[in-house]
């Protein structure tokens, strides 16, 4: 055996030992380089067909192309988003579980529920705001009120006779209704559902009277003449419905409610994985086809860095907390 052949196995052993030592010293770097190496799950805390689900599927499809791995949508509906949030919060902090959160799950529920099964910012790492969406006050066409003024007059003459559907107790849709009740000084009955889709289905069927639904799921039914649009909940009119006033314009001064949706992963995810996720999401949100798809749903993107999104969430929680208290809305 010559000198080369005798030393070759020894060099292989030394090289292998060196690689193992490097991997032990830099496990985060190794993980980041490998990420993603398997399918990613995106938990949606509301039922399929609602606004949160629609936006999640748009973003998930675009992320598949950007990250090169399937993004599986997992709908976990119930309790105003709390069931899905709890499920996602328990996942491993490796970047393979994403969560499509909302103003409800991350800025409202903490004030609305006595006990949350998760902590909005302790358990979740914000990635970016995916969309800002106005709500639309809609009524079944058979109802006698065609304007906000007529709705208020009917409610004042018939306390407790109007019911409003929502995607679940504690959702932004629910709280939009509670804010309306407080500012308009009317008595209406809240009817919660497990998601926007079943709530809209019953509204279309006339089982409920009105709803403060997210624009993406309500707009199509207004265009089809199946629902009557009374007003938008934001401080500006919606471009696609220029003749529909804001609720403030229509007689409830100071009313303003906007829904937002954001992407999260678990707190503690490796920094390099978070950086890759953040860059990928911000990139796909700027793609023309994604912008168009979301615009068709009435949603506007608002991409930002994780720290900026976290500051926004803190400000929203500080805003909605007093609103929840003033409205008297509570959920056991």
214 and 166 Cβ atoms separated by less than 8 Å: no
Residues 6 or more apart whose Cβ sits within 8 Å of residue 124: 85, 88, 89, 99, 101, 106, 118, 264, 265, 266, 267
Taking the C-alpha atoms of residue 235 and residue 185, their distance in angstroms, rounded to an integer, is 20
Chain centroid to CA 259: how far? Answer: 8
Q: What is the pLDDT of residue 28?
A: 47
- Name which CATH class applies to 134-232: alpha beta
Contacts of residues 28-36 at CB distance under 8 Å and 24 or more positions apart, as own/partner, are 28/270, 28/271, 28/272, 29/272, 31/94, 31/270, 31/272, 31/273, 32/270, 32/272, 32/273, 32/276, 35/94, 35/95, 35/272, 35/273, 35/276, 36/67, 36/68, 36/69, 36/95, 36/96
Could you list the pLDDT tens digit for every one of the 332 residues in the chain? 554 444 444 544 444 444 444 444 455 444 445 899 999 999 999 989 888 999 999 999 999 999 999 999 999 998 889 999 999 999 999 999 999 999 989 999 999 888 899 999 999 999 999 998 889 999 999 999 999 999 999 999 999 999 999 988 777 888 899 889 989 999 999 999 988 889 999 999 999 999 999 887 888 899 999 999 999 998 888 888 899 999 999 999 989 888 899 999 999 999 999 999 999 999 999 999 999 998 887 788 888 999 999 999 999 999 888 878 877 777 76
Which 3 state secondary structure label does DSSP give 286?
coil
Q: What is the pLDDT of residue 299?
A: 84
Average pLDDT of the chain, as a whole number: 88
* Torsion sign (Cα): 154, 146, 247, 197: positive
Examine domains 37-132+259-327 and 134-232 and report if their fold is the same. Answer: yes
Q: Which residue has the tokens 């399937």?
A: 70
Every domain of the chain and the residues it spans? 37-132+259-327, 134-232
Domain 37-132+259-327 has CATH 3.40.190.150: yes
In sequence order, what DSSP letters do the residues of 73-118 get, joined into one string?
Answer: EEE---GGGHHHHHHHHTS-SSSSEEEEEEHIIIIIHHHHBS--SS
Q: What is the pLDDT of residue 13?
A: 45
Which 3 state secondary structure label does DSSP give 37?
coil
The torsion angle over the Cα atoms of residues 97, 98, 104 and 109, rounded to 10 degrees, is 30
Q: What is the pLDDT of residue 257?
A: 87
Q: How far apart are the first and last CA of the chain?
A: 80
Which 3 state secondary structure label does DSSP give 39?
coil
Q: What is the pLDDT of residue 19?
A: 45
Nearest Cα to Cα of residue 39 among 67, 60, 74, 69 = 69
Predicted model pTM = 0.73
Nearest Cα to Cα of residue 83 among 111, 104, 63 = 104
Cβ atoms < 10 Å from Cβ of 125: 21
């Amino acid at each position: 055996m010559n000198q080369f052949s005798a030393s070759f196995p020894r060099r292989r052993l030394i090289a292998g030992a060196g690689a193992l030592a490097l991997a032990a010293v830099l496990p985060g770097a190794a993980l980041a380089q490998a990420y993603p190496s398997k399918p990613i799950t995106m938990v949606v805390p509301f039922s399929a067909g609602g606004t949160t689900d629609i936006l999640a599927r748009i973003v998930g499809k675009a992320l598949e192309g950007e990250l090169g791995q399937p993004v599986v949508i997992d709908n976990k509906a119930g309790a105003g988003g709390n069931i899905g949030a709890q499920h996602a919060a328990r996942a491993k902090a490796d970047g393979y579980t994403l969560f499509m959160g909302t103003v409800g799950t991350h800025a409202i529920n903490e004030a609305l529920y006595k006990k949350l099964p998760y902590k909005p910012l302790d358990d979740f790492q914000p990635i970016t705001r995916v969309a800002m969406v106005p709500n639309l006050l809609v009524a079944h066409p058979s109802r006698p009120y065609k304007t906000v003024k007529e709705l208020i007059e009917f409610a004042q003459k018939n306390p407790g006779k109007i019911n409003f559907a929502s995607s679940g107790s504690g959702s932004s849709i629910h709280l939009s209704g509670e804010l309306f009740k407080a500012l308009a000084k009317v008595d209406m009955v809240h009817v919660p559902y497990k998601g926007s889709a079943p709530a809209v289905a019953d509204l279309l069927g006339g089982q409920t009277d009105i709803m403060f639904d997210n624009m993406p799921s309500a707009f199509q039914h207004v265009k089809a003449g199946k629902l009557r649009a009374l007003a938008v909940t934001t401080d500006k009119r919606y471009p696609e419905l220029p003749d529909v006033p804001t609720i403030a314009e229509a007689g409830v001064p100071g009313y303003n409610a906007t829904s937002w949706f954001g992407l999260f992963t678990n707190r503690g995810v490796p920094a390099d994985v978070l950086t890759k996720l953040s860059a990928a999401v911000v990139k796909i949100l700027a793609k023309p086809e994604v912008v168009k798809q979301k615009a068709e749903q009435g949603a506007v993107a608002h991409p930002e860095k994780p720290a900026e999104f976290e500051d926004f969430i803190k400000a929203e929680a500080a805003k909605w907390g007093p609103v929840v208290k003033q409205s008297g809305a509570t959920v056991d």
